[in-house]
Structure 1
């Protein structure tokens, strides 16, 4: 006779988790979540991870990561792993700050610059959603998020980087080109260069000064980021922008593929 316990274990559809010990959620050491409130009353989750080692005399570099609910944990853990092997990677300890986007409608609004008279075409992502809230969102970062981090940790204010993907990459480029003093570097992964019928290209043509920019793209770009890099890096602007091709990557996978290079760009040891 087969023991009853074996029958129970073999019964199809039996939820194994029901027999397991009490589960404890995984947490990331040396991390915290805080909430900031925008002027209109909306709240934003701010996710922060900091190193175990004390800050250097100049302070920690900081990487601000958009779409924080998706990208914060992997950015923080990747940064720690690269810093542990700093002699080989050239990466130093730094603070990673994830800014959660919230609902899709808010993300689209917050990550897009104003484009009077232009709307997202019906054939493009986020068609029909409200756009044009980039300035208010950048104000929120500048007036609340950056001071929040600077008040608690010693920060190297010459080494603050913004990282974004898709519409987040669009916002990162817009910040670099219109508020060059806000971040010392920006990383734009698969930026939505089609937005505003080439808004970013026009901003790049008009700009006289901008921080170093890294643009990463896979195989599915509708507009050429390499061309944008060329315009940013020409003439007296030499050295401002770099292009990172990500062969074999689609729009949905480029952020993961670009994560380690983005962290090296933000947390590279001075002189490397």
Structure 2
């Protein structure tokens, strides 16, 4: 009888399969859905540090493509924070916005370029573009007050980090003078818009603007003929206007892997003591 009961218990556990295990969770984090003016719903993931915030509030790292980047950024930031003086990383809040499907991502992450359509052979050909300003307005007018109402954050230390089209949007936010102290642009899609980004760059006032970190792999290349190193020239122009800028080369990486390769540098830009 004892053997039978043991056997039945084993069978019951086997039958339960993965449902018997608890899901992995990240402490001090949550997810909520926030609707934009046009009714589109975004999932917004937030992670915050332990303890009381500093007098000025916690710095914030705003992450695009949040569904891909939230967990790795939060865990990495906390690990670096625990290292203390060895890492130079302070506690901070991470706010990651889910991009949703490809069509919505392309619309949200591309600057307005009247009359422009993504040409054949390029990523996202045929999809609607030009909704970047509306998306940044959503961040500024809806998400910033929402986060500030929940957590004590430092309005002077706000970093926006994105990859590919997300990096394109981050650069556009920088040129527009949106309220970010730091911009981290990883492998930006500089080919987009027939020079729309250069026009925005030309309008940016000298000496004003966020500190820029642009990262890319030297081997990155698009069918438009732009290489990963074209970002270095952009950083040089930004610095020539009396601003702070740094180019981070990521040798050995591909377009798909550069965001993870640049994550620690992005966290340091947002939460590092030297970035204050």
TM-score by length of structure 1 reads 0.89
Does residue 1:215 correspond to 2:214, yes or no?
yes
Q: Secondary structure at the match of 1:117?
A: coil
Shift of 1:199: 2.0
- Aligned twin of 2:232: 226
Shift of 1:155: 0.6
CA distance in 1: counterparts of 2:42 and 2:261, whole angstroms: 27
Tell whether the 8 Å contact from 1:204 to 1:231 is kept in structure 2 after alignment.
no
Q: Secondary structure at the match of 1:187?
A: strand
Tell whether the 8 Å contact from 1:45 to 1:100 is kept in structure 2 after alignment.
yes
What does the per-residue CA deviation read over 1:55-90, in whole Å, with 9 as the maximum and x for residues that have no partner? 111110000000000101101111111111121111
Q: Secondary structure at the match of 2:175?
A: helix
Runs of 4+ in 1 over 4 A off after TM superposition: 16-21
Does residue 1:263 correspond to 2:267, yes or no?
yes
1:197 aligned to which of 183, 194, 198? 194
CA distance in 2: counterparts of 1:17 and 1:168, whole angstroms: 44
Shift of 1:20: 6.0
Tell whether the 8 Å contact from 1:201 to 1:228 is kept in structure 2 after alignment.
no
Shift of 1:17: 7.8
Tell whether the 8 Å contact from 2:268 to 2:275 is kept in structure 1 after alignment.
no
| Alignment of structure 1 residues 21-100 onto 2, 5 Å | 22-100=20-98
CA distance in 1: counterparts of 2:250 and 2:236, whole angstroms: 17
Q: 1:46 to 1:19 in 2, by over 3 A?
A: closer
Q: Secondary structure at the match of 2:269?
A: helix
- Aligned twin of 1:8: none
CA distance in 1: counterparts of 2:36 and 2:57, whole angstroms: 28
Q: What are structure 2's unaligned runs of at least 5 residues?
A: 1-13
Tell whether the 8 Å contact from 1:170 to 1:193 is kept in structure 2 after alignment.
yes
Q: 1:54 to 1:231 in 2, by over 3 A?
A: same
Shift of 1:239: 3.9
CA distance in 2: counterparts of 1:269 and 1:124, whole angstroms: 40
- Aligned twin of 1:139: 137
Q: What are structure 1's unaligned runs of at least 5 residues?
A: 1-15
Tell whether the 8 Å contact from 1:161 to 1:183 is kept in structure 2 after alignment.
yes
- Aligned twin of 1:12: none
User: Between Structure 1 and Structure 2, how many residues are aligned?
Assistant: 254
What does the per-residue CA deviation read over 1:73-126, in whole Å, with 9 as the maximum and x for residues that have no partner? 101111111111121111100000100011110000000011112111111100
- Aligned twin of 1:7: none
* Alpha-carbon RMSD: 1.6
- Aligned twin of 1:240: 244
2:167 aligned to which of 152, 169, 179? 169
Shift of 1:238: 3.1
Tell whether the 8 Å contact from 2:110 to 2:168 is kept in structure 1 after alignment.
yes
1:114 aligned to which of 112, 115, 135? 112
